[in-house]
A and B are shown apart, each in its own frame.
Chain A
Amino acid sequence: MGGFGPPAGSPFAAPGATGLPFAGVPQELQDRVDALLATEPEHDVPVVEFSQADFDRKPFTLWRFVGEKKWAVALAFVLVVIETLMVTAGPFLTGEAIDRGIVPRDEDALLFIAGLYVGSVVIGTIVSALRVSWTGRVGEALMEMLRVRIFSHFQRLSLNFFTQEKAGVLMTRMTSDIDSLTALFQEGLVNMFVQFLTLAIVTVVLFSVSPILATVLFLGVLPVMLILTLWFRKASDVAFLTVRDRIADVMSDLQENLAGIRIVTATNRAKRNVVTHDNVLGSYRDANDHTAVIGAVYGPATELLGYLAQAMLLALGGWLVAQDRLSVGELAAFFLYLTMFFAPIQQLVQLYNTYQQGRAAVRKLGDLFATEPAVLEAPGAPDLPPMEGAIELEHVTFGYDPAVPVLEDLTLRIAAGETVAFVGETGAGKSTVAKLVNRYYDPVEGTVRIDGHDLRDVTLASVRSQIGVVPQEPFLFAGSIRDNLTFAAPDATDAELEAAVDAVGLRDLVDRQPEGIDQIIHERGSSLSSGERQLLALARAFLSQPRVLVLDEATSNLDLASETRIETALDAVLDGRTAIIIAHRLATAMRADRIAVIHDGELVELGSHDELVAAGGRYRALHDTWMSQATVVDDAAVTVPT
């Protein structure tokens, strides 16, 4: 099997044999990365102006976007023109050298013209280097602006925007859309211009040298070339789409078989699944084979066209030269220009894809920038003064879809310092109350007030920074425990931090970490138990010393031990604060001063635990179910939590 394989023992032999480690970054690469990073200057901290309400509302178009750097872009185009002229000069100079130097045996003329040729190559190289460097700089500067702008608008948009679209789709604004635009700027636009220009220059030269030859070429070869290229683009688009679909099938079949391997083995499906996988693989291979055929047709066919044109040129050119209507040098130049003539057409068709993708990205980004935040800060709104914590909902009606109200005409007053628990079935609207208080959403009708201020009349930041939220699924950022805690209060001192850690009972966890509070927690805190994550979220809320605290089913997914810890921590945190507790479990609800029972978007019962049990309504029914469940095994001495 010799020929192309590297011999065993060469640097390319299987590293398994030499025991090279596969994991991590190779040391050599790491060293070079380090050396590279040593050359990186300190970047000045970019200052970003951010406003919730004021932003660029003019439509986002390609030209407006590029227009931000219009002089820089104009310079790039000048460089491109020079570069292209230098490149296309070659064949012309060759023809001249033959006609003026070689044929009349004039050595000086030959030296002069060939010297011009060398000069054009040198200048072309330098200008090309400048052009690549310049367009890169301009493009990256534009991309940086765009990244910040997209991200700022994300921050501005309201919660409804994020729940309507999958996170993965939103991510593509910042990943694949930016990639498409980068491709358009670095390669696409400039390259298209280069190819157009080349095509134009070559066409002009061909027609001026020999109109007959050029006409024959244009009528005979060009149409076929175009048809072939358009066919290829279409066929390969379809074919590669199929390949993408099929490889996705392969990957998901593989992934599922591995993830469900226990079921696969337990049900004796291994052999069956091997055959199924082979079938999936086979159809992937068929799709690949199809692309192979398409590619193998297009490449040689277009090259064949080029050679047919050359044959035509040879036949026709011979006749023209014999009639003295064409010089040998011109014929030679013609041959060389022919090789330059087909490449731009093929390239342009390919670039059209880049262009389309770039346009699509611009359109999607335009849509993003045109999206108004649903919860918009009133221009010039004042800050909410330091809170007392009195919350009023007055005739509040709200629906995520305004046609389908989740809450209807809800009126409720929560006194400063009071704890109110909301209970009710899933979908009854109890979480929604918390979201309105935090102004994640604005009510469709009615008013939400804190300390008598309508939330719509004050700044968003001043409301939210005074309300602490512990969400159902505690979200942690990649970073240290400290980073996560200080997220709510960036200026917190170490002493405050330690106090928060102690208050919620996180001390054990922190002390267990090798790095203490600076320990980096992994992706979303996957290294922590859900109870620990919940405690961290609680400490985070505690650290910001909010006047109002919202706990959204904060203890629903915990085991008993963690729950006990959190309940204890809550006592410390709730002390003296207004609290809204969205409760899944009665034990949690029972701690509150008052309990609000929400049913079908309406407040149906309100009162203390004892009052509601005595009233014999919905709450009583819930309570009874729970009591009977808690004693399923009658012998078990289960303590009823109080």
Chain B
Amino acid sequence: MSITEDRSDLEKAAVDVALDVDAPPTAFEPDPPPALYPPPSGRIDPDTSLGWIRRMAPVVMGHKRSFAIAMGMAAVALFSNVAIPAVVGSGIDEIRSDGDRVSTFVIALLVLAISRAFFTFGYRSRLYKFAYAIEYDLRSLMFRHFAAMSHGFYDKVQTGQLVSRANSDIRAVQMLLAFAPFMAMTMMTFVLAFGFMLTKHVLLTLVAVSTLPLVFVFGVKLRNVMFPLSWVVQGRLAEVATTVEENVTGVRVVKAFAGEERQIQQLASQARRLRWAAVKVNDSRAKYAPLMENLPRLGMALTLLYGGYLAIDGQVTVGTIIAFSSYVLLLQAPFRMLGFFMIMSQRAAASAGRIFEILDTPAEVTDRPGAVDLVEPRGQVDFDQVRFRYTEDEDESAPPQHLRPEEAPAPDEAGMRRRSRPQQNVLDGFDLHIAAGESVAVVGGTGSGKSTIARLLLRFYDINEGAVRIDGHDVRDLTMTSIRHHVGMVSDEPFLFSASIRDNIAYARPDATMDEIVAAAKAANAHGFISELAEGYDMVIGERGYTLSGGQRQRVAIARTLLANPAILVLDDATSAVDVRVEAEIHEALERLSADRTTIVIAHRLSTIALADRVALIGDGKVIAIDTHQRLMATEPRYREVLATVEEDVDLTDDVATAEEVDV
């Protein structure tokens, strides 16, 4: 029992972290733009023992007013809907009996029709808006949660999958929430209409609706048959699409090896298999859909037959027969929709489960209560006996199984798939002390943990043992925003957003002036190529297929970090993808950047080492030796070994990305 309590506490905490993003920004965070829309009106109930609708209730309750109005209007619309056929039926009877009151029925019909139209408009538009409001809330909650998650989470998920999953799951839930009240209304229609029919003639009512349950039965059957079938069709469509895609993107290889005929043969077989499945789908539809269409009609025919006899006997009127025919058409809807609704609920429940699984995942790295801000640091950095490993999959904080990268659940490929992080310690007894203002290069073989150092300093992860300190403060005692304000990083694969170059450079300081941005770009040796672009700083990256080359991206990333002007700088070999001339330019920029500040350079290239005062050689999770480059060359044979593997041949060409563009 206590275990479950602990768990739900933990999950409460997780939800609380997600709400952090609603707090006003600290001095270290850029001011948000004006919020044009309110934040979500509720959040998911953190109690995981509840059913999904109950957990969703706080979100739904945030819109209860508009929901209540919608339902009220629906009730009026519903009443008119059921009353109309009765009025028409009575009107026909009145005509038959040569009565003078026909105009009464005409007026009644007009009033009912107009009120029906008005209230149907009212409730439908409100109900849909209600569903869209919930969709907004769920998407916003999801984003807030993502924003609060730490890096361990993102290491283990594929973001593409995360995005598409979240999208379709939210949609499934939203559709059900919009459809459920609709369904409830339809059921109410059924009850009302059925009740009215019973008052006219019990047995005729039963005859009229006798075929409708079959509509439901066949509907369910059809869906049952379709379920595996559409799965197969989707699979085969994908098969064909894959072949086409491979042949389009791999056209050079296909042509180079004269593989055209074999590829066509392969596609023809796939198309044949697809056709079989598609015809199967169609045959199932042919079997059930006409039945579902015509069963209500059969009900109408039977109503005419039996109602006719009753009318000859004088038990019912002609108007009643006509009204009953209309009711049969009105009543078939719930029977048609019910099966669909059941499937939809199942799907929504599964989707809600997946959404909750994400929202229930707690953030691993959080500010401890009473954490203090790091203020104007001198820039002394200490790693004291640090032991660290990336969390393994079994960890509680691991993301939901369906969001992990594909390779994770495939143990049979363990030998092949080396991308998942090793679970052993990356750093163990790691000691590194860097004085304020000093530049230190970190050198080590692949997988030696070089890049991890930067991530720990920025507190993307928490270490397992030891301490990482800035100016003597353990980073866990400092607020994360203040650390990240003062520690800047240029990563080896710089990520730029699909925004203008100006916005990318000003990413950390959106309020920077144009002069500051240009100054940063100049210092990063990026101003030259930016001014040559047609739209200069307003060039939107990724638009019209325009991409920057590796070296250009890196220089924009350097400008971005320069503009933030951090006291401590980590450069994760920022020059790996560029040619000699560009590298020289970048190094020039980096030298400017690292002057007077504490700098850690993760070096993959020999030439980068020249930027540093001292070099730390790391291996086996430890610092093996630390000294100047010259002395290490002289005294440390392992240093020379590592250097031999990092040194690369010299590229003769310009940036790689440009090569792809020109090369037709």
Contacts and interface: CB of A to CB of B under 8 A. Distances in A.
B529 interface: no
Contacts of B133: 285
Interface string A395-417: 00000100000000000000000
Contact of B308 (A114, A281, A314): A114
Contacts of A6: 51, 53, 345, 349
A164 to B, nearest CB: 9
A62 interface: no
A238 interface: no
B35 A102 contact: no
A321 interface: yes
B199 interface: no
Interface residues of A, number: 206
Nearest to B171: A247
B52 A121 contact: no
Contact of B652 (A33, A314, A469, A584): A584
B265 A21 contact: no
Given A22-B357, A125-B291, A137-B279, A278 B649 contact: no
A147 B267 contact: yes
Given A121-B294, A586-B650, A174 B102 contact: no
Interface stretch (B281-289, B371-379, B385-393, B515-523): B281-289
13 contacts: A14-B353, A40-B273, A43-B272, A97-B308, A125-B293, A162-B251, A262-B495, A275-B32, A296-B122, A314-B92, A315-B106, A336-B322, A561-B645
B245 A339 contact: no
A236 interface: no
A318 B305 contact: no
Nearest to A107: B312
B325 A336 contact: yes
A360 interface: no
Contacts of A478: 242, 246
A141 B274 CA distance: 10
Given A136-B282, A261-B149, A332-B318, 4 more contacts: A12-B345, A262-B154, A328-B96, A339-B326
B228 interface: yes
Contact of A296 (B125, B289, B480, B580): B125
Q: Which 7 A-B pairs have the closest CB atoms?
A: A136-B282, A282-B37, A8-B51, A292-B128, A307-B113, A5-B53, A128-B290
Interface stretch (B156-164, B468-476, B589-597): B156-164
A307 B656 CA distance: 69
B258 A151 contact: no
Contact of B256 (A118, A301, A467): A467
Contacts of A471: 252-253, 256
Interface residues of B, number: 214
B35 A272 contact: no
B227 A32 contact: yes
A252 B163 CA distance: 9
B624 interface: no
Contacts of B653: 425-426, 584
A48 B489 CA distance: 58
Contact of B275 (A41, A105, A141, A262): A141
A527 B417 contact: yes
Given A6-B53, A171-B248, A636-B633, A15 B349 contact: yes
B354 A636 contact: no
A43 B276 contact: yes
A175 B488 CA distance: 46
Interface centre among B122, B286, B484 (most CB of A within 10 A): B286
A117 B304 contact: yes
A111 interface: yes
B64 to A, nearest CB: 9
Interface centre among A265, A284, A291 (most CB of B within 10 A): A265
A488 B252 CA distance: 12
A555 B512 CA distance: 43
Interface stretch (B176-184, B331-339, B429-437): B176-184
A636 B318 contact: no
A469 B251 CA distance: 12
A186 B275 CA distance: 13
A167 interface: yes
A314 B272 contact: no
A170 interface: yes
A162 B329 CA distance: 54
A255 B160 contact: yes
A265 B484 contact: yes
A259 B232 CA distance: 32
A292 B132 CA distance: 9
A560 B312 contact: no
Contacts of A304: 113-114, 116-117
A307 B181 CA distance: 25
B456 interface: no
B228 to A, nearest CB: 4
Residue in A270, A431, A584, A639 with the greatest tally of chain B CB atoms within 10 Å: A270
Interface in B233-256: 237, 240-256
Interface stretch (A344-352, A362-370, A627-635): A627-635
Nearest to A37: B232
A274 B21 contact: yes
A94 B275 contact: no
A372 interface: no
B25 interface: yes
B564 interface: yes
A257 B147 contact: yes
B652 A423 contact: yes
A495 interface: no
